Structure 1
């Protein structure tokens, strides 16, 4: 895998302030506050049930919030529908790899580029994804269900990137993948973020892998932030790692 040579996006700041989210009256997130600078990669860590997925879904307006605020470059997101948030530069790659199984690799990418690009600009954007994920270029005519787990994850990420988001949120991109494939995807994500100035919020149970490419780490436990520090500091904190991160 190699990164495209041109920078095509500029990251945005993301502000999460005292966010509270609940289902059926039961709170899942409690007064969560996280500030993310443009171009920063933040690893969102914690065990199953910590609230990572709920936080990412709240960013895109997929679950209702009951308190607090979300802002993209200082613009309040609360009145905006999911599609409006996407048009302003937010993208989500959910767990389970959001690939349309009946469509080919090329068709999936064209679907991702549909509302952002037309004509030559769309072809240029898709070509950039093939340069970034070389295995996809070799499989462009294969349908989604014919891909390996690693190829599907590349395609899910490529579908998000082809629309040139400013902030991308990823939910467990390493789930079910072999360690070598995980390392390749993480390395490519880091290179892409640097080249494009992309802001990344990476929710992961594989804390060691996520921290290896992140600038900062935020640890959630039972819906609350229990640590927010540079990635290297979290990786070196053996007590915190054993208590919350499992390595």
Structure 2
């Protein structure tokens, strides 16, 4: 199977200070790849570079055979890439329904939101509520739902469990696994909750100080006690 996403020798940073150094990875269709590492390892910078928010100093990003260098951020979604940044960013002045419609705004005709409400019954109950009236877990569901409304082939997901109760985290992880299995959605998942991430991932990549320190099947990484203690804190 050919890779959906190919990253080759990516070096990127802020100003003159590089954060990522010569990072290479692939994500295949229908695959969840977990990106793990301590704070400051470069995980969020990686997603920002892949979504076009940070131009690389060096290296290539190829999605479905197309070189993404120079592609405007707002056009990434048309290529089939959706980015859910850390922090559950929703438009707090808009309702749940309006937020979700933003996700599919560029598609003509606009896709039905029924599949999103089936995935997130709680959002269906709250569809007329404003963003600022939602709980943290509901906002994370809304941010995910808005990204999925664009019908992406690759989801870039940054710390979806941050600040959430374990029960809500488990629901989100189960949803990602279900989407992969049912729809073939590929996911590049940045996550501090290492156990949860590895429990649903096919592959894992460990970043340390902006470089790839390890990569392997998710189960093998979870079983490698020395690596876990050295890089993942458990």
Q: Does 1:218 align with 2:205?
A: yes
Q: Does 1:41 align with 2:32?
A: yes
Matches within 5 A, 1:15-26: 15-26=6-17
Gaps of 5+ in 1: 1-10
TM-score, normalization: structure 1?
0.92
Kindly tell me: are residues 103 and 56 of structure 1, through their superposed partners in 2, closer, same or farther at Cα, counting changes over 3 Å?
same
Matches within 5 A, 1:25-104: 25-104=16-95
Higher relative contact order (CA closer than 8 Å, sequence separation 6+): 1
Contact 1:12 1:39 in 2 (8 A): no
Distance (Å, rounded) in 1 between the aligned partners of 2:62 and 2:78:
14
Gaps of 5+ in 2: none
Quote the residue 2:137 is aligned against.
150
Contact 1:50 1:221 in 2 (8 A): yes
TM-score, normalization: structure 2?
0.97
List, as ranges, runs of 4+ consecutive aligned residues in structure 1 with deviation greater than 2 Å: none
TM-aligned CA deviation for residue 117 of structure 1: 4.0
Q: CA RMSD in A?
A: 1.2
For 1:146-169, what per-residue CA distance to the aligned partner results, in whole angstroms no more than 9, with x for missing partners?
Answer: 111111100000000011001010
Distance (Å, rounded) in 1 between the aligned partners of 2:225 and 2:14:
34
Quote the residue 2:114 is aligned against.
127
Distance (Å, rounded) in 2 between the aligned partners of 1:235 and 1:210:
10
TM-aligned CA deviation for residue 23 of structure 1: 1.4
Distance (Å, rounded) in 2 between the aligned partners of 1:105 and 1:148:
12
Distance (Å, rounded) in 2 between the aligned partners of 1:158 and 1:12:
25
Contact 1:44 1:217 in 2 (8 A): yes
